[in-house]
Structure 1
């Protein structure tokens, strides 16, 4: 739960700036209302999850069992002292294929205050679980860490401990932190907008990257969900310890803020499960994008598995070692922003890159199924 209120900074996002990825769409469509509801009901049934309580510890065990059931094996727990009571951060890692030592973190806290916390933060907790269920066997370029933090309600203690004791000492290469906190909406209200949060605080060195990540997420949601987006500043949740040491952050928060947080009435009946399901879809699409998820090649697609490109570095024309049949070629810059997209109706053996400025780019062949890293001179 966030302890202060700051006004929203709202502006319009042009969703057409990014195209829908059919593979991502096929994964997002597997997010199910009933699956979200079942998980959230179980979370609620554990009761008040104060750090050190049996409800808190039972919830931790339940979360861990889900990841084991899904087939995850890289599962760790971090003990955290919260004013004399011991809580546990749950850290589950999915290894990326191209950049195994570079991480996208998706997180949410599971401790609650004065109530069962269906919205604050059962909503974020079950969103992580639903995403983990669906992304388990999908190949991603970057590694992903699912982190369920303890001690958020007592002052971000669990996330601060993770940053102080793990992220900084190990010099983890964290490309993005996506924090999900209180995204259930309010029952009997029109819940049609999700707030995407960006870093506007000191230090300012990571603000530009945060803004880019947040804009990408704000573009993604309307492509894969029924929700509109607004952009606001990030504050007072588990991404802030990461922000303070220079990691790029972004986050999700409900537009209609629940009046029931930290009370016995923070229950499923007082939130909007349809809205939460849509949030889970958008968060999944965002994680697929951030982690550069790839559809596994079938036999036909493997025909281009020996494709080579040259020269690299490239100044003007980029050549392909074999003729491509009506390819879809997309180019992203190092920040993940699409800078070129073309669906060709003819064969292609080269493309002209004179229009690109100097820097690192990723050339994507046939809807994210084959990617090359190039240096433009």
Structure 2
């Protein structure tokens, strides 16, 4: 792990304006339900955001779900040192409103502002601020679909990673990061394998949780609350034997899977804090190779 005097300056580059704009844009599709035409528009927009940031290695990963062709978006930032080691930051872009009685995906909205435009926006913003910083490890930003249909997108990628013997050091998954608990102490939930999953808990998990704790304490106003893994896109990686951590809000969000999961219910300041914590963690784990960012 690398302690770096430049981390404070880097994480301060996280833009509230950019995060706000990206969440608004994603919710403006009205729905990103996996099988909808608007989900296709959303994934094309996410692909374009990575490309506009200057990333040249942006691809789709195809998979089949219910006889439908679906696509994850994979943006790779090649490492400049130990490039065979991979750190994944991921978030799902699909949405659903299964908690609303009478909801019809073909006619009713599923704005998904918190679940999970918040996570996608934080991922894109992290990709932005790290774009021109040479990292030791390879960083892979992945936007999954099919999360709301039993994690199919992340299952497809975890299977692909396993079959290709990818050297994945850590997976950080962002899902519903827009609703804090009550101040004065903002908490964020970190999900780690506490030994009751199959396979048994990875010993590296606790090491990386300590890094996240340090990042939260040093560079944000967040405090960490640990829970066991919950059902989101980090789970298939954990089941495949990779070290995976989930990041989620600590507040009890009343609008999950409802038509009321709209932009107005998101706390952008909190999303900014979670993004800063995430970016600092990535820097600490993956390391910086540029001379101007020599570690101290």
TM value normalised by structure 2:
0.90
Whether 1:120 aligns to 2:115 is yes
Report Cα offsets for 1:320-364 as digits up to 9, x if no partner: xxxxxxxxxxxxxxxxxxxxxxxxxxxxxxxxxxxxxxxxxxxxx
1:293, distance to aligned residue in structure 2 (A): 2.2
2:186 & 2:239 partners in 1: Cα distance? 31
Q: Is contact 1:20–1:224 with CA below 8 Å preserved after alignment?
A: no
- 1:259 match: secondary structure: coil
1:308 aligns with: none
Which consecutive unaligned segments of at least 5 residues does structure 1 have? 1-17, 299-365, 370-377
1:212 aligns with: 207
Report Cα offsets for 1:250-309 as digits up to 9, x if no partner: 121100031101111101111211111111111111111121124x325xxxxxxxxxxx
1:244 aligns with: 239
Whether 1:141 aligns to 2:148 is no
Q: Higher mean Cα deviation, 39-48 or 191-200?
A: 191-200
- 1:106 match: secondary structure: strand
Spell out the pairing of 1:1-377 with structure 2 (5 A cutoff).
21-114=4-97, 115-164=110-159, 166-185=160-179, 189-190=182-183, 192-200=186-194, 201-294=196-289, 296-297=290-291, 368=295
- 1:119 match: secondary structure: helix
Q: Higher mean Cα deviation, 73-82 or 275-284?
A: 73-82
Q: Is contact 1:120–1:182 with CA below 8 Å preserved after alignment?
A: yes
Q: Is contact 1:40–1:123 with CA below 8 Å preserved after alignment?
A: yes
Greater strand share, structure number: 1
Alpha-carbon distance change, 173 to 127 in structure 1, aligned in 2, over 3 angstroms: same
- 1:111 match: secondary structure: coil
Report Cα offsets for 1:205-231 as digits up to 9, x if no partner: 552111111121122111111111111
- 2:202 match: secondary structure: helix
2:269 & 2:124 partners in 1: Cα distance? 17
1:145 & 1:254 partners in 2: Cα distance? 23
RMSD of the TM alignment (CA)? 1.9
Report Cα offsets for 1:87-114 as digits up to 9, x if no partner: 2100111111111111001101000002
How many residue pairs end up in the alignment?
Answer: 282
TM value normalised by structure 1:
0.71
1:57, distance to aligned residue in structure 2 (A): 0.4
Greater helix share, structure number: 2
- 1:97 match: secondary structure: coil
Q: Is contact 1:79–1:86 with CA below 8 Å preserved after alignment?
A: yes
1:81, distance to aligned residue in structure 2 (A): 2.0
Report Cα offsets for 1:29-68 as digits up to 9, x if no partner: 0011111101110011011111121110000010011111
1:157 & 1:137 partners in 2: Cα distance? 32
Q: Which has the larger radius of gyration?
A: 1
- 1:247 match: secondary structure: coil
Which consecutive unaligned segments of at least 5 residues does structure 2 have? 98-109
